[in-house]
Amino acid sequence: MSGGRKTLSWGKDDVRQSFVVMKNEFRKFFYGKKMLLFLGLTVAVLALIIVMIAALDPFSDEDDKKRLTEAMFISFYAFIILIAVTLFGATSIVSEYEERTALILFTKPIRKSSIYMGKLLASIVLTFVFTCVYYAVSAVSCAVFGGIGTEMLVSFVLSACYIFGANGVALLISSVMKKSSTSSIVVFMLFLVLFTVISSVIETGAGSGTAFWMIDRASNGIVNCLSDSYDDGLRDAAVMLIWGAAASAAGYWLFKRRDF
């Protein structure tokens, strides 16, 4: 009886500590220059797209207008997610070691699992909030300029899955790096170039088909969902969620064994 209550109490305390870490991470984000940089970039991208759509409207067909408008907004968003993951997720763990704050944090009565989960949640939630704002602005703009279809909702759901997958990989990298700058560069280049190269090599070696189990191929669904022939939404979502879960577990395993 008492043993069961003790286990339950520890579980509740771990959750509470994770939210405390997440709250502190939010405070760090909002008082740092990274938040201003990311906010400015997101606003600039949205403003540029809206201006381009308003100024360049070469199609008279309503369906073409709708597809063009949706495509212009959605095609940029995977890159926006990559920037967010690079700025926030890639430095989340390694910054504690680089700035020596780990010496203070790890001496407090808080488990490493709570620290890791809090940092992961902070990066995911922050990026997801920006995703909601981005897609809300996109949906309103699409409704004004050309109409909106269910493809935007599919793209939003896939973006949410990509956020989880990309942040899981980012924290895995952050758990083994020694410098925040190095971790950011590795994460950025991994998603921008290396995953694509690896997928291409796999596909070339296989001779046919696509490496649908690679996260970069699955993330293409964010844009590919605009096509009438797209029917891989569930598969792509599952691939990105699996990547996020596996990378998060591996990252925590490495973080738990890392010394000062």
Domain boundaries, the chain: 14-256
Confidence of residue 61 (pLDDT cuts 50, 70, 90): low
Higher pLDDT among residues 219 and 105, named by residue: 219
Q: Residue 8's pLDDT band (boundaries 50, 70, 90)?
A: very low
Q: Which residues are within 8 A (CB) of 172 and not within 5 positions of it... i.e. 6 or more apart?
A: 247, 248, 250, 251, 254
Residue 250 has pLDDT above 90, yes or no: yes
The pTM (predicted TM-score) of the whole model is 0.87
- The DSSP symbol for 214 reads S
Residue type (1 letter), 158: L
**pLDDT of res. 210:** 81
Contact predicate 228/164, CB 8 Å: no
Calculate mean pLDDT across residues 218-240.
90
Tokens, residue 48: 């540029």
Write the pLDDT tens digit of every residue in 171-183: 999 998 988 889 9
Chain-centre distance for alpha carbon 176: 19
Asked if 222 contacts 155 with a C-beta cutoff of 8 angstroms, the reply is yes
Residue 161 CB partners (closer than 8 Å, separation 6+)? 236, 237, 240, 241, 244
Mean pLDDT confidence for 31-60? 80
* Contacts for 44 with CB less than 8 Å, ≥ 6 apart: none
Phi, psi of 149 (to 5 degrees): -120, 180
Question: How far apart, in whole angstroms, are the C-alpha atoms of residue 44 and residue 49?
Answer: 9
